[in-house]
Amino acid sequence: MKIATNNSNMSITIKCYPAKNGDCFLISFGENEEEKKHLLIDCGYVDTFQKYLNNDLIQIAKCGETLEKLILTHIDADHIQGTIRLLKDNNAERFITIKEVWHNTYRHLYEQKEGEIDIKQERMLQQIIRRGYTQNESKQGEKGISAEQGTTVGALLLQGKYSWNSDFDNQAVCIEKKSTVSLTSNASIYLLSPDKQKLEKLKNLWTDELKKYDFNFSSGNSQLYDDAFEMLLSWEKEKAKIAPKQISATAETLEELLKTPFHEDDTSTNGSSIAFVLQVQNKKMLFLADAHPSLIVHSLNEYQKEGTIVFDLIKVSHHGSFGNISRELLNKIDSESYLISTNGQKHGHPDKDTIAHIITRKADFHRKLYFNYITANSKYFDREDWKGKYNYSIHYLDQQPYTLIL
């Protein structure tokens, strides 16, 4: 699945892979074949990497090219399990060079203290690790990632000796630390999320979870902490989904959908998402990961104070969940092209309310909604009367590579 854009001397391609209810994007740009840059944002599940991404990375390496950045937006199984398989394979046989990794985990949130952990601490951490990651259900029988020490992203990054958050002095990727990172003379990333407050909530979640194990937490430098932290936090959204969904499941008209009360996502892992604007020459692309809209609006006001920012592409936050795309955010951003990544099978994304709010705003251009899967709610909006009235179209990036000129 490919989205491509061209101007007089710059080619930009964005591949949106089949990642079930997760995310995996490969962005490539350059003025010629010899100067191509590649960014990889998340890796979906294990079979996302094995069936699709792996071959593309091998081809990049065969061309003598590298991954400029591997950006892991947050700790969540649907974003990082494929990364674990990538790093395991790459550590065993370095088939591609990864120049820099962005990934926030335990070691970036706490001061590392010297000293050994006691037996009680070690047993408790091992208990968390044995639970492992949330498992993705798939028709292919995918079993996810094994529950054992040293299988986390953090552990594999250390084993492979990758450059890790060096753009941020090896500390947390955070807007207070740095807002703009240059990629080339005409390409840069403007960071929108997370901030220190969102990362502090992640720390508090970890501490609260440890209390359930009757453990009075104090930070340490053992890699056991890294492993347990990552595996435990991957379960946060699974617990959140047990609560009744706030979004209306029965609304049948756009008017009803537009009246749905907004309740912002409050999960700590989503709040810690790395979200950013990628600018390549005069093209601006917004990648929102699963970020909270209130912080995104605040950061975009720093990026451009006045008016609505029109992007060349918007990757909709959290697979189109209504809790991650407020009216305030939609008043600040717009685009001719919206990208929604999900198969809709696990949590019913994208929410109808989200799509309703996107398509009904007035604009002097035609909006295109891109989905990497056909879902019940994408089909719901594939109505000729609505598409004509609100000037939008629906497109599917399925099966074969799909090329779009933005």
CA-wise closest residue to 99 among 43, 48, 61, 62:
61
**Structure confidence at residue 155 as a pLDDT band (50, 70, 90):** very high
Check residue 213 and give its pLDDT: 80
Check residue 210 and give its pLDDT: 85
Contacts (Cβ under 8 Å, ≥6 apart) of 64 = none
Share of the chain above pLDDT 70, in %: 85
**Structure confidence at residue 400 as a pLDDT band (50, 70, 90):** very low
Q: Of the spans 123-127, 129-133, 238-242, 304-308, which averages the highest pLDDT?
A: 304-308
Residue with tokens 């995310």: 23
Is 405 inside any structural domain?
Answer: no
Query: Considering Cα of 173, then 226, then 270, then 66, what sign does the dihedral take?
Result: positive
Q: Is the pLDDT of residue 311 over 90?
A: yes
Residue with tokens 């901030």: 195
CA-wise closest residue to 46 among 74, 73, 79, 75:
79
* Stretch among 11-15, 155-159, 198-202 having the lowest mean pLDDT: 11-15
Structural domain harbouring 257? 2-396
**Stronger pLDDT, 303 or 125, i.e. the higher one:** 303
Q: 184, 37 in Cβ contact below 8 A?
A: yes
Q: Is the pLDDT of residue 242 over 50?
A: no
Q: Report angle CA 373, 287, 345 to the nearest 5 degrees.
A: 25
Check residue 148 and give its pLDDT: 67
Q: What is the mean pLDDT of the chain?
A: 87
Residue at 403: amino acid letter? T
Check residue 209 and give its pLDDT: 85
Q: Is the pLDDT of residue 137 over 50?
A: no
Is 403 inside any structural domain?
Answer: no
**Structure confidence at residue 153 as a pLDDT band (50, 70, 90):** very high
CA 294 and chain centroid, separation:
17
- DSSP secondary structure code for residue 245 in this structure: P
Q: Is the pLDDT of residue 23 over 70?
A: yes
pTM of the model as a whole:
0.92
Residue with tokens 């690790």: 129
Residue 113 exposed, middle or buried by CB count within 10 Å (0-12, 13-18, 19+): exposed
Q: Is the pLDDT of residue 266 over 80?
A: yes
Number of domains in the chain: 1
